[in-house]
Amino acid sequence: MTYQYWNERMETLPHAELETYQLEQLKKILAVAMRTPFYQKRLSEAGINSADEIRSLADIRRVPFTTKHDLRDGFPYGFLSVPKDEVIRLHASSGTTGTPTTIYFNKEDIVRWTNFVARSIYATGCNKTDVFQNMITYGLFTGGLGFHFGGEAVGMLVIPSGPGNTTRQFKLMQDFGTTVVHATPSFLLHVEAKMREEGVTRGSLALKRAFAGAEPYSEDTRRRIEDLLCIDVYNSYGLSEMNGPGVAFECQAKDGLHIWEDGYIAEIVNPDTLEPVPDGEVGELVLTCLCREASPILRYRTRDLTGFYTEPCSCGRTHRRLRRITGRTDDMLIINGVNLFPSQIEEVIMSIKEVGNNYLIVVEKEGVLDRLTVKIEVRPNIFMDDTRPLNALKERIRRTLQSMITINPRVELHESGSLPVSEGKAKRVQDNRPKDV
Ligand code: DLL
């Protein structure tokens, strides 16, 4: 396979040179961060009063971590490090609780972010001849405008469709010959189910690729979308605190996500001890944003669980690769004392061919015990009134799940298209247990 690079020199820079560059950028961003009262205080408490005290990349460990909590405390302008009249955009993530966290961009920040998204898109083999339908939420969420600007920078024809209304999405795809789409993986699965329902044939579409991210999904889910839609699916990782999408992305080798190390410093730490884990092991990803001046964030605890691949990538890029993110430290469910990540359930069920495109995990209290129910849609060719094979399937799924997660779940089978669908990030878990338990 021949690989194309958006910025060949930077993408293939020997790692030692990349590290030298990172150190320079780290010192610059530290100096910028010190303009905010928050970092001035935090850093001086840690004994850092000037950026020049950071002499090697390893010295980053002297910098205290920043958490979501810190960002919320600083709402709205606590992390702003340039005069307000230099800011040209803000994005915000509401998260699950109250106060949003807000990030600000000046002109150069937008250019730098756009370049990282363009580089990511280009790494998947797209170019200016592509027609790109951006089926993700626009607005305060970074996915819409982030990919929109990146797509335009590549020179693609960008259709800002946003999510929802699958009938209209199919019409746009057919009218304009869409070759690449962007959505959450759960919305892509929904699109595929709707395609069959509405009788849209694969032959009427020019689709070749999809970027899928903003939520965790398994390798089986990727393969399922690829097989059903006959396209290549590329994993896309990012978070608002680090600009949004374009932080880490799969190249055409599809073997881990290259984290753009000229824009971000990535560390993997043990979430309990906060010490670095041995290279290759899974832990919590900590990121420092080197490429945004207007609201710098240092050593941000992402809560995302991943690790580095240690071997070089066949594409020739020197930027290290992250493993598929399996979940967040705060996603973990404890069911009768057993730790469980929702991604473990997805991994099992999406490998079963009779299983359809949607599922929901429900946790309840029954007396003193926790009760786990997995509601699963079946493929549309499975008849719901044919109870014998259905019961056998249910039992097979239950047994497979039990052997993999060591919890005995209740399995419910549902008709294709009957479970709730979200246009953005899927809500996979309904934890109905009383909160104080
Ligand atoms: O989701 C930014 C984004 C937009 C990424 C479009 C990719 C595509 P937030 O709303 O701040 O930002 O959510 C960030 O989503 O910390 C992860 O927990 C999760 N996440 C994002 N991408 C992936 C992925 C955007 N590829 C949070 N795999 C992150 C697993 C992901 N989880």
Whether residue 251 is contained in a domain is answered as yes
What is the count of structural domains for the chain?
A: 2
Ligand 1 atom at minimum distance from 141 CA: 10
Average pLDDT over every residue of 280-299: 98
Contact 349, 417 (CB under 8 A): no
What is the model's pLDDT at position 19?
A: 98
Element (H, E) at 78: none
Whether residue 217 is contained in a domain is answered as yes
Give the pLDDT confidence of 113-122 residue by residue, as tens digits: 999 999 999 9
Whether residue 42 is contained in a domain is answered as yes
Do residue 363 and residue 214 come from a single domain? no
Ligand 1 lined by 142 (C-beta under 6 Å): yes
Do residue 322 and residue 342 come from a single domain? no
329, 364, 386 — which closes off a domain? 329
Do residue 293 and residue 409 come from a single domain? no
d(CA 318, CA 18): 9
Structural tokens at position 234: 């590329």
The answer, yes or no, to whether residue 152 has pLDDT greater than 90, is yes
329, 350, 378 — which closes off a domain? 329
d(CA 76, CA 71): 9
Contact 26, 54 (CB under 8 A): yes
d(CA 158, CA 144): 11
Whether residue 436 is contained in a domain is answered as no
What is the model's pLDDT at position 137?
A: 95
Q: In degrees, to the nearest 5, what angle opens at C-alpha 428 toward C-alphas 227 and 195?
A: 35
Do residue 114 and residue 235 come from a single domain? yes
Structural tokens at position 242: 């680090």
Whether residue 384 is contained in a domain is answered as yes
Do residue 122 and residue 185 come from a single domain? yes
Do residue 257 and residue 406 come from a single domain? no
Do residue 162 and residue 265 come from a single domain? yes
d(CA 382, CA 392): 13
Question: Ligand 1 mean position to 388 CA, how many Å?
Answer: 41
Ligand 1 lined by 237 (C-beta under 6 Å): yes
Burial per residue of 216-250, b for 16 or more beta-carbon CB atoms within 10 angstroms, e otherwise: bbbebbbebbbebbebbbbbbbbbbbbbbbbbbbb
Do residue 344 and residue 421 come from a single domain? yes
Percentage above 70 pLDDT, the chain: 98
d(CA 179, CA 157): 10
306, 329, 352 — which closes off a domain? 329
Structural tokens at position 77: 């302008």
Give the pLDDT confidence of 211-270 residue by residue, as tens digits: 999 999 999 999 999 999 999 999 999 999 999 999 999 999 999 999 999 999 999 999
Do residue 70 and residue 152 come from a single domain? yes
Ligand 1 lined by 239 (C-beta under 6 Å): yes
Question: Ligand 1 mean position to 238 CA, how many Å?
Answer: 5
Question: Ligand 1 mean position to 4 CA, how many Å?
Answer: 25
Contact 172, 133 (CB under 8 A): yes
The answer, yes or no, to whether residue 56 has pLDDT greater than 70, is yes
d(CA 414, CA 384): 8
Grade residue 143 by pLDDT with cuts at 50, 70 and 90: very high
Whether residue 3 is contained in a domain is answered as no
Percentage above 90 pLDDT, the chain: 93
Ligand 1 lined by 236 (C-beta under 6 Å): yes
Q: Helices marked H in 35-124 — which ranges? A: 37-45, 68-73, 107-123
Give the pLDDT confidence of 191-212 residue by residue, as tens digits: 999 999 999 999 999 999 999 9
Q: What is the pTM of this model?
A: 0.95
d(CA 137, CA 250): 21
The answer, yes or no, to whether residue 96 has pLDDT greater than 70, is no
d(CA 354, CA 349): 9
Do residue 312 and residue 369 come from a single domain? no
**CATH number of the domain residue 363 falls in:** 3.30.300.30
The answer, yes or no, to whether residue 437 has pLDDT greater than 50, is no
Do residue 118 and residue 176 come from a single domain? yes
Which residue range is the domain that position 364 belongs to? 338-431
**CATH number of the domain residue 125 falls in:** 3.40.50.12780
What is the model's pLDDT at position 97?
A: 58
Type of residue found at 266: A
| Count of helices and strands (H, E) across the chain | 11, 21
Ligand 1 lined by 359 (C-beta under 6 Å): no
The answer, yes or no, to whether residue 435 has pLDDT greater than 90, is no
Is cis: bond before 76, omega within 30 of 0? yes
Whether residue 2 is contained in a domain is answered as no
Kindly report the number of other CB atoms within 10 A of residue 87's CB atom.
17
Do residue 278 and residue 367 come from a single domain? no
Whether residue 409 is contained in a domain is answered as yes
Residue 309 makes CB contacts below 8 A (sequence gap 6+) with 255, 256, 280, 320, 321, 322, 323
